[in-house]
Amino acid sequence: MEVSQGLVLRLYMGESDKHGAHSLHDWIIKEAQKQGLSGATVFRGVTGFGKHNHIHTANVLVLSTELPMVVEIIDTKDKVHAFLNHIDKEVTHGYATITDVQVCRYGSRDD
């Protein structure tokens, strides 16, 4: 097992947020892949609220079409900061958090 320093980048947005004709979270994932980041995952929230303080939920009785979405990316400090600079002018709303982490990589670099 190899352990190294890295960053977790989390980008928070709504399910209906767009970048052109595409969903914002899909565009971010594709850009992360193009930029050569280690990987990215999109999580759909079950319940949440944002800047308008309105609760969005997946509850069947109060079904929302605007569920919270989180894109999570783990990579080196340099790659995460370069990616943020790359998408900065294209992402016009939402939040991002960056957390220092220790990354444990299992297997070889070729896996």
The whole-number mean pLDDT for each consecutive block of 10 residues of the chain, a chain of 111 residues, reads 93 91 95 96 83 66 70 97 95 92 80 54
**Parallel, antiparallel, or unpaired for β 40-44 and 68-75?**
antiparallel
Provide CATH code, domain 2-105. 3.30.70.120
CA 77 from chain centre, in angstroms, equals 16
**Parallel, antiparallel, or unpaired for β 55-57 and 47-49?**
antiparallel
Distances (CA, A) of 40 to 9, 32, 48: 9, 7, 21
d(CA 44, CA 16): 12
Give the predicted TM-score (pTM) of the model: 0.83
How is the chain split into domains, by residue range? 2-105
